[in-house]
Structure 1
Amino acid sequence: MHTLLSRVNNASAFMSSCMMTLLAAIAISSFFLGSQPTGEVGISPVKVFAAKGRRHYSGKQDAAFVNFNVTADLAPLFHWNTKQLFVSLEAEYTNMHGVQNTVVIWDKIIRRKQDAQLHIEGGKNKYAFREVSTSFKDVSPASYALKYNLMPYVGVLQYGEIARTSDDVPFPEAQAKVAS
Structure 2
Amino acid sequence: MHSIVSRVNNVSALLSSCMMALLAAIALSSFVFTADPKGDISIASVKVYPTNARRYPHRKQDMAFVNFNISADLTPLFNWNTKQLFLYLEAEYNNTKGVQNEVVIWDRIVRRKEDANINVVGKNKYMFRDVSHKFKNVPPAHYSLKYNVMPYVGVLTYGEAGRTTEPVEFPPAQPRVS
Scaled to the shorter chain, the TM-score interval is over 0.9
Shift in Å at residue 58 of structure 1?
7.1
Which 4+ runs in 1 deviate beyond 6 A? none
Q: Indicate the residue corresponding to 1:68 in structure 2.
A: 68
CA RMSD of aligned residues (A): 1.5
Contact in 2 for aligned 1:150/1:158 (Cα 8 Å): yes
What one-letter code is carried by the residue in structure 1 that aligns with 2:78?
F
State which drifts further: 84-93 or 50-59: 50-59
What one-letter code is carried by the residue in structure 2 that aligns with 1:153?
Y
Unmatched 5+ stretches in structure 2: none
Contact in 1 for aligned 2:50/2:174 (Cα 8 Å): yes
Q: How many percent of aligned residue pairs carry the same amino acid?
A: 62
Q: Indicate the residue corresponding to 1:59 in structure 2.
A: 59
Secondary structure at 1:97 match in 2: coil
Distance 2:58 2:101 in 1: 19
Q: Indicate the residue corresponding to 1:92 in structure 2.
A: 92
What one-letter code is carried by the residue in structure 2 that aligns with 1:168?
P
Shift in Å at residue 54 of structure 1?
3.8
Contact in 2 for aligned 1:58/1:134 (Cα 8 Å): no
What one-letter code is carried by the residue in structure 2 that aligns with 1:162?
A
Contact in 2 for aligned 1:72/1:118 (Cα 8 Å): yes
1:53-100 Cα offsets, whole Å, 9 max, x none, are: 242387111000101011100000001100000000000001111111
Q: Indicate the residue corresponding to 1:166 in structure 2.
A: 165
The alpha-carbon distance between structure 1 residues 62 and 178, as it changes in their structure 2 partners (threshold 3 A), is: farther
Q: How many pairs does the alignment contain?
A: 178
What one-letter code is carried by the residue in structure 2 that aligns with 1:141?
P
What one-letter code is carried by the residue in structure 2 that aligns with 1:17?
S
Shift in Å at residue 177 of structure 1?
4.1
Distance 2:54 2:124 in 1: 21
Contact in 2 for aligned 1:51/1:178 (Cα 8 Å): no
Contact in 2 for aligned 1:74/1:117 (Cα 8 Å): yes
The alpha-carbon distance between structure 1 residues 157 and 138, as it changes in their structure 2 partners (threshold 3 A), is: same
